[in-house]
């Protein structure tokens, strides 16, 4: 077992998943604006520190993806990475610089951030990061995702992953086929399959150790404007089939993004995926909004109510933790 693989297994030890707390300042400002809280550096840190020091972090969160601002912050003289380690989580860092318009395509994106990445990775390692994240985004519409978008993003993801492993960290490879649109689950399945197939072709070409990565894909879902309703069982079967077909067996762990699903919806779907999982992949979560949304709403009423906010967050972590082992049930949910 390689050091990188050992690190993956630590992050994804039984019942644990990843908290995606890597919202950029712009995204976090929008989230705080939505709940009428001023987006100051102090408030952003206060909310994140409240989550990071919650009791269920110890049992349900194996890794936390941070934003550049957060990994450099301290709370009462203690660095955020040290606080996370104290609560049993491995610190991670988002390293891409965002999705920009893809030249040669009208409405598709390419994720940037490869320039100077090797040097930045050394700095992040010194700050305490031991895994990283890079997100490629693909939309489904007429003619999309195009071969250009699929190949360009796969190449960038593979070059990123190779550099990250060179620096002694685990790369999360996140090719996200977006939920926005009126497409069917069949179209999502076909597009996701093409995206994953090309990603792994490039990863292998770039000599990435597949046993030392975490894949962060979307679930197979119909578009959010399609009016198609699927059961969690149907979503789980399609998602498992897609991953079985396209993901090499050497990959140890898959952590799903929530991708705009509701908190309970993302939990129910993950639970069924684990109940029906016929693969050797660890299937867990790497949720942002689906872990934080209710806690943020509660916190916005009184940002000094740390205990109350943690209680809301602890419940959500526990639900996702149970779903990651197929032991969640709707009767356990708070109303």
Question: What positions carry a catalytic annotation?
Answer: 174, 216
Spatial contact of 130 and 151, defined as CB atoms under 8 Å apart: no
Sequence-distant (≥ 6) Cβ neighbours of residue 272 within 8 angstroms? 232, 233, 235, 236, 326
Spatial contact of 208 and 251, defined as CB atoms under 8 Å apart: no
Answer left, alpha or beta for residue 201, where phi above 0 means left and psi between -120 and 50 means alpha: alpha
Judged by DSSP in three states, 221 sits in coil
User: Based on the number of CB atoms within 10 Å of its own CB, is 213 exposed (0-12), middle (13-18) or buried (19 or more)?
Assistant: buried
Beta strand residue intervals within the chain, DSSP E: 17-21, 61-66, 74-75, 78-79, 90-94, 99-101, 109-111, 131-138, 170-177, 214-215, 253-256, 282-287
Q: Which residue has the tokens 């050992």?
A: 6
């Amino acid at each position: 077992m390689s050091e990188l693989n050992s690190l993956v297994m630590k992050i994804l030890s039984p019942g644990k998943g990843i908290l995606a707390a890597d919202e950029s300042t712009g995204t976090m400002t929008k989230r705080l604006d939505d709940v009428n809280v001023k987006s100051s550096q102090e408030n952003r840190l206060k909310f994140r520190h409240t989550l990071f020091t919650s009791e269920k972090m110890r049992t349900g969160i194996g890794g936390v993806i941070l934003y550049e601002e957060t990994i450099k912050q301290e709370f009462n003289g203690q660095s955020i990475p040290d606080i996370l380690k104290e609560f049993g989580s491995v610190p991670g860092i988002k390293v891409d610089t965002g999705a920009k318009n893809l030249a040669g395509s009208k409405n598709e994106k390419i994720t940037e951030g490869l320039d100077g990445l090797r040097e930045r990775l050394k700095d992040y390692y010194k700050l305490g990061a031991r895994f990283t994240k890079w997100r490629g985004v693909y939309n489904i519409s007429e003619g999309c995702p195009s071969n250009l978008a699929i190949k360009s993003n796969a190449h960038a993801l593979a070059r990123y992953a190779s550099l990250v492993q060179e620096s002694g960290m685990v790369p999360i490879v996140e090719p996200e086929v977006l939920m926005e649109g009126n497409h069917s689950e069949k179209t999502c399945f076909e597009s996701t399959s093409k995206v994953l197939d090309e990603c792994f072709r490039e990863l292998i070409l770039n000599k990435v150790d597949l046993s030392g990565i975490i894949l962060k894909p979307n679930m197979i879902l119909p578009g959010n404007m399609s009016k198609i309703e699927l059961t969690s069982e149907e979503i789980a079967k399609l998602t498992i089939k897609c991953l079985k077909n396209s993901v090499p067996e050497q990959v140890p762990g898959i952590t799903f993004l929530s991708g705009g699903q509701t908190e309970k919806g993302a939990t129910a779907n993950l639970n069924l995926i684990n109940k029906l999982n016929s693969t050797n992949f660890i299937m867990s979560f790497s949720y942002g909004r689906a872990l934080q949304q209710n806690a943020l709403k509660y916190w916005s009423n009184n940002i000094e109510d740390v205990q109350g906010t943690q209680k809301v967050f602890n419940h959500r972590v526990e639900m996702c933790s149970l779903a990651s082992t197929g032991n969640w049930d709707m009767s356990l949910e708070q109303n």
